């Protein structure tokens, strides 16, 4: 499954296009108040990715086991230090309402943690490479930020 995210940012314009396979949709995130960049930072989006992955995978695994889940609440937190430092102390907690015994749901939650793709990507690291850089020079009298 091929997944991509595309961000296009200009003054007061912030577009996000997401694609999984052939399915594409957009996500609305406001630009910064000065109009350049995103009001939401990468750390928040990283933590949202962890929460979203766990939530979706929990429903997937519950369905496979015939466990009916009524609701899921996931909270991810961690710390970032100085510029360029990776996140540390990333933790997440989850609350589930389900029509199954507590021990069965706890086992489901632990199992889901072990197969959650975003969690496993960060736990096992993966190479991330900057490729295909392009620069379009503007005429000298073009206003810049």
Yes or no: is domain 42-125 CATH 3.30.300.20? yes
What Rg do the C-alpha atoms of the chain give, in angstroms? 19
- pLDDT score recorded for residue 58: 98
In the chain, where are the structural domains located? Answer: 1-40, 42-125
- pLDDT score recorded for residue 25: 97
Q: Is residue 68 a contact partner of residue 62, using CB atoms and an 8 Å limit? A: yes
- pLDDT score recorded for residue 142: 64
Half-sphere exposure of 105 (CA within 13 A, CB side): 16
Give the integer Cα–Cα distance in Å for 145 and 142. Answer: 10
- pLDDT score recorded for residue 138: 85
SS3 17: strand
- pLDDT score recorded for residue 14: 92
**What string of pLDDT tens digits covers the 145 residues of the chain?**
899 999 999 998 999 999 999 999 999 999 999 989 999 999 999 999 999 999 999 999 999 999 999 999 999 999 999 999 999 999 999 999 999 999 999 999 999 999 999 999 999 988 888 888 888 888 876 665 5
- pLDDT score recorded for residue 126: 83
């Amino acid at each position: 499954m091929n997944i991509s995210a595309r961000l296009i940012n200009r003054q007061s314009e912030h577009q996000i296009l997401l694609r999984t396979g052939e399915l594409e949709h957009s996500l609305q995130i406001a630009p910064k108040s000065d109009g350049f960049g995103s009001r939401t930072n990468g750390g928040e989006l990283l933590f949202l990715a962890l929460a979203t992955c766990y939530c979706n995978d929990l429903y997937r695994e519950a369905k496979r086991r015939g466990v009916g889940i009524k609701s899921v609440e996931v909270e991810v937190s961690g710390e970032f230090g100085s510029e360029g430092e990776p996140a540390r102390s990333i933790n997440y907690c989850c609350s589930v309402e389900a029509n199954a015994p507590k021990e069965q749901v706890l086992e489901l939650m632990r199992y889901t943690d072990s197969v959650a793709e975003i969690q496993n990507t960060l736990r096992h690291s993966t190479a991330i490479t900057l490729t295909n850089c392009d620069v379009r020079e503007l005429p000298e009298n073009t206003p810049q930020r």
